[in-house]
A and B are shown apart, each in its own frame.
Chain A
């Protein structure tokens, strides 16, 4: 026989899944929310998203090529995804130069300084966002009004900020209710906020798609949102004058975007469902604590970053149940 046969150890078959497919499916899941933000904020949303994606991919290419001296892997989709998530986490009116700095911090510091995809302890997009929030607090908290709004104002406040200001001023929740958007507006996203976080319904639609394609499992999003609901619900029952009902907190701010798309980042979340439960519990609790008692109106990005830091520890202590093991 003349032909040489390939020799390799088993298994000889492989799933059709790949890293690229996972990344592009997450991106696809984010498209409805992206379309909505373009509808709400107009061309600014396109500008911010494109800039963030191009900057993330560009910085990844340059750093991998010239600093790490390795074959650039920008086509794996991870840099593009970081770009989209970063764009989703900033106001649509953000100046272009700020988003470019955010992209550099996200990809350069958040991801590549640790060795690239898979090695970063913290979610790169959130590293970028929190860096911007701390460095440029004014630009990062000036929320543009939607292009369809019947008003002369240029900026407005997010529901969470309205709530925070009111509670700080000592107003009871009942008096604030008329200033806050209805649950329906919150659900489909007729509110102020970061570019991609406003439409809870469309983010959930993407979640359903990712579950269908088995990109992620339900555990982390459900545990995070469940914890927020239970904890906030408990506070509400204790003192309904001071604490708002829990559904408001599920539908506002980055709760959906964070729970579904950021907390589930595979690289930075625990491996086992047991570990994911602890991780998600931490995110939920810290988010509610910051939102109710902290200085910032919103806290899920801090909560996720803090729990990212615990992930290696969680992985060490919460092992899967071994077959035939004692526990």
Chain B
């Protein structure tokens, strides 16, 4: 029996159209917009100004605190301006506009594809390199990786879990990366293990990616410290807590971080970025992005420089289909609908999903028939119908005591509701409010 998490979960149609499409390098854009806040935590501080010449890999914004990340130029050229522009969140964010001229890289970066396996195992050296390279979690949460690698005093990492689940429908970026850059991911995994001082790593992969499981198993055949764990397909298995439960059986307590059960989780994309940073001195300036959708003529996986406008990716995938109704940055379950195709790819962009008109709009919501399906599918064991009602009626103490803050916003409840109720919309509202109340109490 394949492992999986125990409570809840749904099975949306997988629609992985681009699973057999090799990663292509996307042509350089004419200009990029690189936001200074591409991660959770404090925005980075811009180091360049209008008119500066920059090279690929040059640091252009410095981390704004411990929980923050450096930002590097993904292109070479001239800084046009440092200004506000809309990113995928829909809000204007500060960022650096660069006009692309040529493709001149920093000298320290090794640009060939040769695999380098040996590395300095000193934890501090590794973490400093990762910190300098501005690496953040590439699964979508964009939490700065160096912070994860320095567990708070009193807690000790026992294992590393590499997240190759990619449970979001449509997306195939991690899948392709595991197939094509398996060796690099494994070196990255070893580097992360050394940084944490652990001697066990698990790579969790859902069983709909049998080729990737096979490939990584083959590469780790003689290596007992890295174990490939095939998982039963079930959304949201890529959720950190769900993955830890599936792989180890351990349950991260409510309100705690994975380190509470001795686990640190990183995405396969992050492991690859760590490899490039430590072995090739290459900061995080590009990532794999899936461009897909039912009407997209050429669903693809692109290696894209950070800051590239989304419409360049769509053009490369055969152009925007006639019947486009919605464009999503990320997957269909947790991605954000974007209002403009000028927004840039950032470190956290795993995919661009184009949905046709008929799938773009929600159906009218009906009365709750109390079928309990939202309760059954909630992977956190919550009662979404109740959390929606108390949020709607602003009964915040009840929302808090019924664990609204445990919600991981996976969307399984809204997905499954036969009455099409906007459960997660209201729960998000409630989470925001209850979070505010909790923070104000601490002051």
> For residue B385, which residues in chain A have a CB less than 8 angstroms away from its CB?
271
Highest count of chain B CB atoms <10 Å: which of A13, A22, A73:
A13
Which residues from chain B contact A119 at a C-beta distance below 8 Å?
A: 367
Cross-chain contact B378 with A12 (CB below 8 angstroms): no
Question: Does B346 make an interface contact (CB < 8 A)?
Answer: no
The docked-state distance in angstroms from the alpha carbon of A322 to that of B381 is 4
Given contacts A5-B337, A266-B371, A271-B383, contact A11 B327 (CB under 8 A): no
Let me know if A11 and B334 touch, CB within 8 A: yes
Residue of B nearest to A268 (CB): B370
Q: Digitize A1-33: 1 where CB-to-B-CB distance is under 8 Å, 0 elsewhere.
A: 101011111111111011101100000000000
Nearest A residue (CB) for B254: A324
State which of B369, B372, B380, B420 has its C-beta within 8 Å of the C-beta of A117: B369
By beta carbon, the residue of chain A nearest B322 is A3
Q: Kindly state the separation between the CA atoms of A17 and B7 in the bound complex, as whole angstroms.
A: 21
Q: In the complex, which of the residues B324, B332, B409 contacts A13, with contact meaning CB atoms closer than 8 Å?
A: B332
On chain B, the residues within 8 Å of A76 by CB distance are 366
A contact residues around B332 at 8 Å (CB): 10-13
A321 adjacent to chain B (CB < 8 Å) = yes
Closest to B6 in A: A323
Q: Is the CB of A18 within 8 A of B333?
A: no
Contact partner of A320 among B251, B330, B382, B412, CB < 8 A? B382
Q: Give the size of the chain B interface in residues (CB under 8 angstroms).
A: 72
Say yes or no: is B416 at the interface (Cβ < 8 Å to chain A).
Answer: yes
Chain A contacts for B369, CB-based, 8 A: 19, 22, 78, 117-118, 266-267
Is B375 close to A, CB under 8 A?
yes
Choose, from B118-126, B197-205, B299-307, B354-362, the stretch at the interface. Answer: B354-362
B112 CB to nearest chain A CB (Å): 39
Q: Is the CB of A13 within 8 A of B169?
A: yes
Q: Would you call the interface of chain B mostly helix, strand, loop, or mixed? A: loop
Would A324 and B252 be within 8 Å (CB), given that A13-B12, A15-B415 are in contact? yes
State whether B336 touches A10 (Cβ < 8 A): yes
Contact of B368 among A15, A118, A323 (CB under 8 A): A118
How many residues of A are in contact with the other chain, CB < 8 A?
Answer: 39
Residue of B nearest to A325 (CB): B254
Whole-angstrom distance between the Cβ of A256 and the nearest chain B Cβ: 22
B383 touches A319 (CB 8 A): yes
What A residues does B326 contact at CB under 8 A?
5-8, 12
Q: Mark A265-309, 1 if CB is under 8 A from B, else 0.
A: 011111110000000000000000000000000000000000000
Q: Is B318 interfacial (CB 8 A cutoff)?
A: no
| Bound Cα distance A11, B245 (Å) | 23
Please indicate which of the listed interface residues A6, A78, A119 has the most CB atoms of chain B within 10 Å of its own CB: A6
- Contacting A at CB under 8 A, from B394-443, are 402-403, 406, 409, 411-412, 414-420, 422, 424-425, 428
The answer, yes or no, to whether A58 is at the interface (CB within 8 Å) is no
Bound CA span A107–B18, Å: 51
A116 interface contact, C-beta 8 A? yes
A267, B241: Cα distance in complex, Å: 32
B256 close to A (CB within 8 Å): yes
Q: Are B335 and A12 within 8 A (Cβ)? A: yes
**Residues of A contacting B: mostly:** loop
Query: Contact flags (1/0) for B309-327 with A, using CB distance below 8 Å?
Result: 0010000000010001111
B2 within 8 A of A: no
Complex: chain B residue closest to A73, CB-CB: B366
Q: Which of chain A's residues has its CB closest to B250's CB?
A: A324
Bound form: Cα–Cα A13–B167 in Å: 14
- B194 part of interface (Cβ distance < 8 Å): no
Contact of B379 among A15, A269, A272, A323 (CB under 8 A): A323
Tell me whether B324 and A321 are in contact (CB under 8 A): no
- A9 to nearest B CB, angstroms? 5
Q: State the CA gap A324–B360 with chains docked (Å).
A: 35
Whether B406 lies near A322 (C-beta < 8 A) is yes
CB distance from A265 to the nearest CB of B (A): 9
A257 to B162: give the CA distance in the assembly, Å.
51
**In this assembly, does B13 line the interface, its C-beta being within 8 Å of a C-beta of chain A?**
yes
Write the nearest CB–CB distance from A285 to chain B, whole angstroms. 23
Contact status A5-B418, CB under 8 Å: no
Given contacts A14-B362, A323-B379, A323-B380, contact A7 B169 (CB under 8 A): no
* Residue ID in chain B nearest A270 by CB atoms: B372
- Bitwise interface map of A from 42 to 60 toward B, beta carbon under 8 Å scored 1, else 0: 0000000000000000000
User: 30 A-B residue contacts at CB 8 Å?
Assistant: A6-B325, A6-B337, A6-B361, A7-B326, A7-B338, A8-B362, A9-B422, A9-B425, A9-B428, A10-B334, A10-B424, A11-B334, A12-B337, A13-B12, A13-B332, A14-B363, A17-B416, A18-B418, A21-B418, A22-B371, A22-B418, A117-B366, A319-B383, A322-B381, A322-B382, A323-B241, A323-B245, A323-B379, A324-B241, A325-B381
With A14-B420, A323-B379 given, can you name 18 additional A-B contacts, CB distance below 8 Å?
A: A7-B338, A8-B361, A10-B334, A10-B337, A11-B424, A13-B359, A13-B415, A14-B362, A17-B416, A17-B418, A19-B418, A19-B419, A118-B367, A266-B369, A266-B370, A319-B402, A320-B382, A324-B241
Chain A contacts to B: CB under 8 angstroms: 1, 3, 5-15, 17-19, 21-22, 73, 76, 78, 116-119, 266-272, 319-325
Q: Which 7 A-B pairs give the minimum distances between C-beta atoms?
A: A11-B411, A118-B367, A271-B372, A266-B371, A322-B381, A6-B360, A324-B254
